[in-house]
Structure formats: C-alpha cells, structure tokens
Structure 1
Amino acid sequence: MSETSWGRVKYRTTNWKAYNAALKARGDLAHKVGLKVIAEGVETEQQRDLLKEMGCDYAQGYLYSRPIPAHEFQAMLEAHYRSLNSAVQE
C-alpha cells in the first residue's frame, strides 16, 4: 500500500460546506492517484459517518481505542481472532 501524509491541516472557518468540500477534494485527489485515505483523531460516531460519506478508507482515534502499548494491542487482536474462530466453529 502506498501512503502519504499532508500533515495536519487546520482550517479556520464558519463555512462548513466549503470546509467539507475541501476535505472531500483532498480525498478524491488521493484516490485518483491510487492512495488510501486515513483519518486521524476520530472521536465521535458523527465524525466517522461524515468521513465515510466523504470516501475515507480508514480511521483511527479514541472512537475505536485509546492509545495502548503494543503487547496490549497484540492481546486484543488474539482475543478477537479466537472469538471469530469460535463463532465459525459453532
């Protein structure tokens, strides 16, 4: 997978329609050149839903998990994998 970062872009606006259009244009440009779009700092379901509507491919942030050490993340993935396996076997 190819990726790029434009860093954190801050917009100061009260025109949310224009702001959302600018974000969507960035995502569209990334997709046109074969890149995936990852949103950082997603904290609410409303943010997640809006980003999904805009074509965001992936997201990370407190909505999904607080930052955790690598060993905790590995344990979480292993537990999830075990639960998927047991569901398939039932």
Structure 2
Amino acid sequence: METVIGFAIGFVVGTQQGRDGLAKLRDSWNAVSTSPEVRQAVSVGVSMAGKAARQLMNGGAGKVLSGVFDRIAAQQEQQAA
C-alpha cells in the first residue's frame, strides 16, 4: 500500500515538474506495477473475488466463474515467481 501512496505523491510532484517529472513518473509507475507487493495484492484480490463469486452462485455459473478467477490468480502467482 505504501508503494501506491508513494506513486500518488510522485504523480502530483511529477506533473508539476514538466517533462522530466513525467518521465520519472513513468519510471515509477513501471516499478510500482511490476513490484511483488502490487502483484501479490492483485492476486489476493482476484482470489477473494473468486471466492465471493462461488458463494453467490453455488451452481453451474459459479463454477465457471470460480474457474476463471482461479486461472487468473494462478497466472498472477506464476508471474510473481
């Protein structure tokens, strides 16, 4: 979470510093979006969404959705490793 807050602060500062600031902002965004912390947060979010879908749709559609969410979570975990 600290990473995302740092990015938000960097965004404000970067936009006030012109092109150089925006270039630094772009570099920061790349670092944030590929960080293990963010990947883990996305993986947890996808997993939680899958569990919620399973609980809501105990049936055929729920199984399909949960399979989709499980697959996305597995891909996120593979990319993080």
Which of the two has greater helix per residue? 2
**TM-score normalized by the length of structure 1:** 0.26
**TM-score normalized by the length of structure 2:** 0.27
